[in-house]
Each structure stands twice: as C-alpha cells, then as structure tokens.
Structure 1
C-alpha cells in the first residue's frame, strides 16, 4: 500500500511538471527562435541526465557507449529531440499555447494508428471510433479558435502540431525495440543530438542570442522538466505501482492543468472550444485501450 502511495506521488509530480512546459515553451519563444530553444534546452537536458546516470549507476559506467548501439541511439536522436522538438517548437511559435498543446496531445491516437503497420497490430472497430472522436476534438479546437479572441489560427502551425504527435508516436514505438534503461537511452539521444544541432545551426539559426537571465531560466525549465527529470518521476511511478495501467491514466490530468498555467502566466483567455475539444480528444483516446502502453 505504501509503495502504491509512492507511485501516485511520483505520478502527480510528473503530471504537475509536464503541465508547466507549454507555458515555458511560449515564454522561451518570446525571447529566442525555436531552434535556439531546442539547442539550449538540449544542453540543460544532457546536464541533468548526466547527473541522473552517475547517481543511478554509482559511477560513470553509463557513459560507455557500445559500438553496436551507436546507430540505434543516433537514429533516436534524429527523431527526438532533433525532429520532434523542432516541429513542436515551430508549432508553438505559430499558435497560441492553448491550441498547440492539445493538438500535440493526440500522440496516443497516432500511436494506435502507427502500430498497425509497424507492429502489425490488427485494427479493431474501436480504433475507428477513437479516430472519429479525436478528429471531432481536433476540428473543434482548430475551427473554434477562429471565432474567439484568439483570431485566425495558422494552418501551418496546426499541421506542425499534429505532425509532432506523429513523430513522438514513431519515436515511442522505436524505443520499444531499444535496450538499456530509459535514462541511458534519453542521455545518449540528447547527447548525440548536440553535434547534429551544432551543424544545423548556421542554416536554421545564424548567430546566437545573448544569454540573459530569462533565457537561461526558461530554457533550463524546458530542458530539466520537459526533457529530463520528469521522465524519471514517471518511470518511478510506473515501477512502484501495483497496477501501472491505473497510474498511467493520471497523465491525462496534465493537459487540463496546463490550461490553468497558460491562462495564469501567459494571460491567454482560454476558449470553451479548447476545453471541450481537449475533453473530446481525451475521451477518444480512452475509448481505445492501448494495451502496449500498459506493458
């Protein structure tokens, strides 16, 4: 019973931290470009993941990269953080946070759809129902925003937000085939991404921003809590839970709590269509039991 209580505490800590990152994205993007946000937050992520690896392994053994794993980790790095966060941050740069965040949250649905060709899972009637329900939520969020004080929404931003969910689902599926602890995989993905981002910088973001206090603070927040520590809390929650599937459902509190921070910190007036659309998307996701998420 005590172990399960600890699992709930770790899960709620992860949910609260994840709920803040949409706000941190927008605060960072007010100061720097999407590419520079990725580069700086990736640096912070590598720093905290290095510390986590040393503590977990009681030494530096986690920094030894076996030759056979390089290609797997580099492929993961190109997907996440490079491709995924470049697309995600670009979508946040074009859309209000309350629109980009729930659209990105369709990744569990994308996971179901991608598992059909990749994992050879046979589609079920519930897959179609889940898709239709989520599409209804997506349309409500995308079209509903046009009639509110949010103004006209960027079609490019909407497409990028949805595409980011596809990239994350694909990365998640690829990660199922990787060996090693979650912290080890994350460290090498983000560490190997740094030289790639360095090579891309002259093309995608010439120059470098002056590292002011606010820039360092918000990029550190993204790197530490979106890309680092929070994954560890979530992993501990699932490891300590008597019924991991029940704990995993707590993650659906995060997007709703995120709207609170978006309103409080960013000052966005949350549209009822955003709340209703997000609710519909979550219902659509929960209407389909994604069994491989529970394993």
Structure 2
C-alpha cells in the first residue's frame, strides 16, 4: 500500500470517528455535567496520549519541554481542554447537537479574524465572502430559518457555541508558536490542567451515582474526540504526499454526524440546519480555493 492510500485510510478513520462525537456528547451529558465531562474525558485522553508518548520514546522530550516552559503549558491547558471544552459542552447542553455541531465548524472563519487581530494578517476579499456565507449559515441554523423575524431557538446556546470557535482559533494561533512535538504538547497541556479540573469538579459536582453508561460514554469522548482521532489525523497529514488529497474529507464529518444524531438518539434534523450547514461548508470551501492569476501578455 502506497503512502497516499495509507493517508486516505488514516484520514477517513479520523473523519468517521469525529462524526460520532456529537452523538457521544449528548449521551454523556445525560449522566455528567459539562465540568465532570471535561474532567473525565481529559483524564482518559491524557492517559492514552501519555502511553503513546512513552511507546514512541518521548519521555525525554516531555521532561525537557516541561522544564523549559511550565507556565506556557499551564496556560495552554487552561485554554484547551479546560475553558474550550467547558464552553463547548455548555453549548451542547443548551442546543440540540444537530445545531451545536454545525456552528462549531465556523472556527476556521473565526481563525481568520483572530489571525488578523493577533498576527496582523490581511483579510482577503474571499475571506470576507466566506465569512458572510458562514455566518449567514449560523443565522439560518440559530433561527431555524426565521431570519427576518430573528426568532432564535436558544440564543444563549448559540453564543456559547460561537464563543467556542474563537477559543479554538486562539488555541491554534498560540499553539503554532511553539515548535514542539504535537503529542508532547497535548500530554503536558492536559496533564497540567487535570489537577485544577479535578478540584473544581469535586467542589461543584457530585461524582457519586454515575452509572456505567456515563463512564463508558465519557471514556469514548476522551478516546475519540481528544485522543486517538487526533493521532490518526496527524498520521494522515504526515503520510500524504499532498495534504489536499485528504483535507477535504473533513467536510464529510458534519453530514455523517447529522445522520447519526437522527438515527441513534432520534434528534429531529430541521431543513434549516441542513441549509445552514451547506452555507457554512460552501464558505469554508470557497475560502480554501486557490485562484491562479493569468500571466499578463
């Protein structure tokens, strides 16, 4: 099997697993609070990623990075997983997953504006057009098609979902400044955030009485939202001779996710959700298109 076929299988596996997490979020929130969910899922993910780091022989890198920049990784851990997932899970607790998940896909648009503010990058005309399409899609989903009346299904949930996109964009901007191994960065960020998450969850929540279904669901989130799936996607990006061969696969995820939400937990998928999602994806695809300029003369 050549490298591109391997990359395609890695990427497709990641996309299929990511397509299941919105359903897993809603199931888990039946048993755990958002804070408990972040804490338990982060613990599972940290354990898995630490095992991967040790299998790959990265113990020395872990210690070196921790000694070099402990405060940096502590702050990164506060941002992700702590604040980002608390905000994201709060959005999922207030909105149907079929609405929260498409809204989260606008993080790439949020990244454009965050890069312009923090990195002084220029916003291109196509970025403005893509943003207009994307946030029109948000409006369609948030109002369930009643754009003129601006009758929001749950404005608070929509605002939490949009805030999560800017937090995720901020995380990527900060994270790319540090040229370190991705697994090492995740282990340190998750590991340093866990004591604070655990203390907060013990203080605010009651861990007794959580059934095995809740533990199973949150373990699934930790494995496939934060852990293994990231490694699969990272392997695909490293293996592919041209990342464009696999990068567009990610746009399959929200549509597969809607099917799973409908079939597994019985969520009603509104036509406005599909229409809004199409607008968001169209904007993202347009933003990625490379326009070749014809030579003069």
Query: TM-score scaled by structure 2?
Result: 0.91
**Cα offset for 1:198?**
2.5
Structure number with larger C-alpha Rg: 2
Q: Contact between 1:140 and 1:277, CA under 8 Å: does it hold in 2?
A: yes
Q: Residue 270 of structure 1 aligns with which residue? A: 269
**Cα offset for 1:95?**
0.5
TM alignment of 1:52-71, pairs within 5 A: 52-57=52-57, 60-64=59-63, 65-71=65-71
Q: Residue 137 of structure 1 aligns with which residue? A: 137
Q: Residue 255 of structure 1 aligns with which residue? A: 254
Q: Contact between 2:36 and 2:205, CA under 8 Å: does it hold in 1?
A: no
**Cα offset for 1:202?**
5.1
Q: Residue 50 of structure 2 aligns with which residue? A: 50
Structure 1 Cα separation of the partners of residues 205 and 8 of structure 2? 45
**Cα offset for 1:109?**
0.4
Q: Residue 172 of structure 2 aligns with which residue? A: 172
Structure 2 Cα separation of the partners of residues 69 and 30 of structure 1? 38
Q: Residue 181 of structure 1 aligns with which residue? A: 181
Task: Give SS of 1:288's match.
Answer: helix
Q: Contact between 1:94 and 1:157, CA under 8 Å: does it hold in 2?
A: yes
Q: Contact between 1:54 and 1:62, CA under 8 Å: does it hold in 2?
A: no
TM alignment of 1:32-47, pairs within 5 A: 32-47=32-47
**Cα offset for 1:20?**
0.5
In the TM superposition, what whole-angstrom CA distance separates every residue of 1:95-115 from its partner, at most 9, and x where no partner exists? 000010001111000011111
**Cα offset for 1:62?**
4.4
Q: Contact between 1:105 and 1:165, CA under 8 Å: does it hold in 2?
A: yes
**Cα offset for 1:131?**
1.2
Moved over 6 A (4+): none
Q: Residue 121 of structure 1 aligns with which residue? A: 121
**Cα offset for 1:200?**
2.4
Q: Contact between 1:109 and 1:130, CA under 8 Å: does it hold in 2?
A: yes
Matched, 1:11 2:11: yes
Q: Residue 230 of structure 2 aligns with which residue? A: 231
**Cα offset for 1:145?**
6.4
In the TM superposition, what whole-angstrom CA distance separates every residue of 1:138-182 from its partner, at most 9, and x where no partner exists? 1111111679xxx97221100000100110011011111112211
Q: Contact between 1:18 and 1:226, CA under 8 Å: does it hold in 2?
A: yes
Task: Give SS of 2:144's match.
Answer: helix
Q: Contact between 2:142 and 2:152, CA under 8 Å: does it hold in 1?
A: no
Q: Residue 100 of structure 1 aligns with which residue? A: 100
Structure 2 Cα separation of the partners of residues 88 and 36 of structure 1? 13
Q: Contact between 1:145 and 1:271, CA under 8 Å: does it hold in 2?
A: no
Q: Contact between 1:14 and 1:231, CA under 8 Å: does it hold in 2?
A: yes
TM alignment of 1:19-30, pairs within 5 A: 19-30=19-30
Q: Contact between 2:66 and 2:188, CA under 8 Å: does it hold in 1?
A: no
Structure 2 Cα separation of the partners of residues 200 and 174 of structure 1? 25
Query: TM-score scaled by structure 1?
Result: 0.92
Q: Contact between 1:53 and 1:62, CA under 8 Å: does it hold in 2?
A: no
Q: Which runs of 5+ in 1 are unaligned?
A: none
Q: Residue 112 of structure 2 aligns with which residue? A: 112
Task: Give SS of 2:31's match.
Answer: coil
In the TM superposition, what whole-angstrom CA distance separates every residue of 1:235-273 from its partner, at most 9, and x where no partner exists? 000001111133111111111111111111110121111
Aligned length: 286
**Cα offset for 1:48?**
0.6
